[in-house]
Chain A
Amino acid sequence: MGGMHGFGAVVTPGSDRAAEHPWELRVFALSTLVGIHGIGAGSGRAIREEMPPADYLAAGYYERWLWSTEQRLVRRGTVGERDVDGWVERLRRGDAAPRREDPQAARLAVEATGQGSPLPQALSARFAVGDRARARRMRPAGHTRCPRYVRGVAGVVEAVRGVDAFPDIGPYEGPEEPVYAVAFASSDLFGPSDEGEWTVLLDLFESYLEPA
């Protein structure tokens, strides 16, 4: 969305909270548990971007997460296509939702969220710090981590962040390649501004870049 117009103010009433309703954080937890238990297909981030743009913009943040979590479960076959509709009807009729408790499992799930490993170091990299590189012009059909506003623009490599799975070929399943922090001048991205000049830095996969 970088650079788009028309969304109005950033700070609005209620915008300081992470969530407005209790169900939103439960959806966050469900999504997290689907990941921890490995019971969903693909990546929530990539699937959310499959929403038609008008629906995506109209939907609330955790509404998108609710949609993508159900999609991941259905696509994996963990949950049948009509299963959630079925429980919607039952809850509407007043059926009690099932409950299961397992304190040990609850403790392990929280522990699992503490896992986080750094990107492995890049052993070889096409670009070095200080090199000029241009984000390629492209129009990928699915998920990408190269924003539109940077395509075709040249910047300077500031750091090699490490290597990671290329996200555009299937969700985060592509071969590993270097990721670079690239600094762009605001006027190269957006033209002249009455704010003067500033710098925008993006972390870009090697395949997004060409020498400039």
Chain B
Amino acid sequence: MSGDHHHDHDDELALRAAALEAVLVEKGLLTTDQVDAIVEHYERDLGPQNGARVVARAWVDPAYRQRLRSDGAAAIRELGYGGFEGGTMVVVENTPDVHNVVVCTLCSCYPWPVLGLPPSWYKSPAYRARAVAEPRAVLREFGVELPAETEIRVWDSTSEVRYLVVPQRPEGADGLSEDELAALVTRDSMIGTGLALEPGA
């Protein structure tokens, strides 16, 4: 398949998407600025910056961490995040002994309120096929090498439950503020395909 072919195909899809929007606007079923507003909301307001705040709070506040574990969605709502794909949240914690990884082998289930829309690799057939069947090989592609004795737990998001990983708090982060801690929390560390950043890294 040539590059031009791909390009033509993308143009056709862009045209069909615009046509679908035109039909719905013409029929008065939705407005242009509704579409704009949803796109903007998911691009600007929702994203890993939200999940990072949840993780940083869990790192500094043991009582909050406890609430996160017992009712994830309610504890996340305390910080103002919730909505579609976040009604039921299970928060799992990485420790020196256990490393959690999240996947959706059936489609692309992902906790939108705390992580935004998933990156392409999360939705790819490769990740969906391999994360459950060779997690260490997948983690290695992300630069994560875990000790052989670490138990890996792969969560396949097959129901309406959505998962958020609390990564291990890095060494040397003791004197940091909650905001500074949040800056160490990457999207991938909350999926389980990454680790939190080291301070000053």
Residue numbers of A with Cβ under 8 A of B are 1-5, 7-12, 14-30, 32-33, 37, 39, 45, 48, 57, 60-63, 66, 69-70, 73, 78-79, 83-88, 90-92, 97-103, 105-107, 109-110, 113-119, 145-147, 149, 161-162, 164, 179, 181, 183, 186, 189-190, 193, 195-196, 198-205
Contact = CB atoms under 8 A, between A and B. Distances in A.
A7 B73 contact: no
B21 interface: yes
A195 B129 contact: no
Interface in B113-168: 113, 116-121, 123-138, 141-142, 148, 151-161
A100 B17 CA distance: 17
B32 A99 contact: yes
Contact of B21 (A26, A146, A164, A198): A26
B74 to A, nearest CB: 8
B18 A110 contact: no
Contact of A190 (B36, B37, B87, B133): B133
B176 interface: no
Given A91-B19, A116-B73, A146 B158 contact: yes
B83 A84 contact: no
A119 B160 contact: yes
If over half of A's interface residues share one DSSP class (helix, strand or loop), that class is named, otherwise mixed; here it is mixed
Contact of A30 (B21, B113, B126, B153): B21
Contact of B153 (A85, A107, A198): A198
Interface residues of B, number: 83
Contact of B120 (A16, A99, A118, A119): A16
16 contacts: A1-B129, A10-B142, A15-B124, A20-B120, A23-B18, A26-B21, A26-B39, A84-B23, A110-B37, A145-B158, A195-B136, A198-B151, A198-B153, A198-B154, A199-B152, A203-B157
Q: Which 6 A-B pairs have the closest CB atoms?
A: A203-B159, A116-B87, A87-B19, A2-B105, A29-B38, A7-B126
B14 interface: yes
Given A118-B71, A189-B133, 14 more contacts: A18-B116, A62-B13, A70-B20, A83-B23, A84-B23, A86-B19, A87-B20, A87-B22, A90-B22, A102-B31, A102-B34, A145-B106, A198-B135, A202-B158
Nearest to A66: B17
Nearest to B103: A2
A61 B120 contact: yes
A102 to B, nearest CB: 5
Contacts of B124: 7, 10, 12, 15
